[in-house]
Amino acid sequence: MNQNLYKPRNRWIHLFLSPFVFFIIVSFLIFFGVQCTLATKSKTSKDPQIQIQFISDEYEETKSIPSSLFESKDLLLILAELSKKEDPAMRFISTNRTEEIMEVNGKSNSWSEGWVIYVNEEKIDGVQMKRGVRVSPSDKIEIRYEAVERVFGRPTS
């Protein structure tokens, strides 16, 4: 007889808990399902990126740096970050007055050739880099290995 008393009680508990547990599970799935679809949409959406193209006779490579459409960043800081990540492997020279890329992926400056930075087809020298060059996703940035004139080791314009 004791068994019959507990069975109806268990049935009532199960009857009340089942919808509650079901509601919690469904709410949990809906919430995290929405979160997952939002995360997927943000990853697949094409956010603006600053594109930097490295060009030499041996290879051509484009690097993308995430940025917002209305945000500009200092080109020197972007290049330093790429250098820090070693993607591509870069080496800078920095003095009180200038900044210069000395090597990219093992291709070094020589007396007659070197890495030259262009922003929107305008050549950027080391002094401008030191003062700060702001770039945004709308800018065309190229770093080309090309013939340069040097005086005492420093490139001339």
**DSSP string over 17-29:** HHHHHHHHHHHHH
Q: Any idea how long the chain is?
A: 157
- H/E run at residue 123: strand 122-124
Q: What gap in Å lies between CA 54 and CA 142, rounded to an integer? A: 6
Q: Which of 16-20, 79-83, 96-100, 135-139 has the highest mean pLDDT?
A: 135-139
Compute the average pLDDT of residues 53-80: 88
Residue with more model confidence, 140 or 14: 140
Nearest to 54 by CA among 119, 104, 18, 99: 104
Per the listing, tokens 């697949």 go with 44
6-56 pLDDT, tens per residue? Answer: 555 566 555 555 666 666 666 666 766 655 444 444 444 467 899 999 999
Q: What pTM did the predictor assign? A: 0.65
DSSP three-state, residue 9: helix
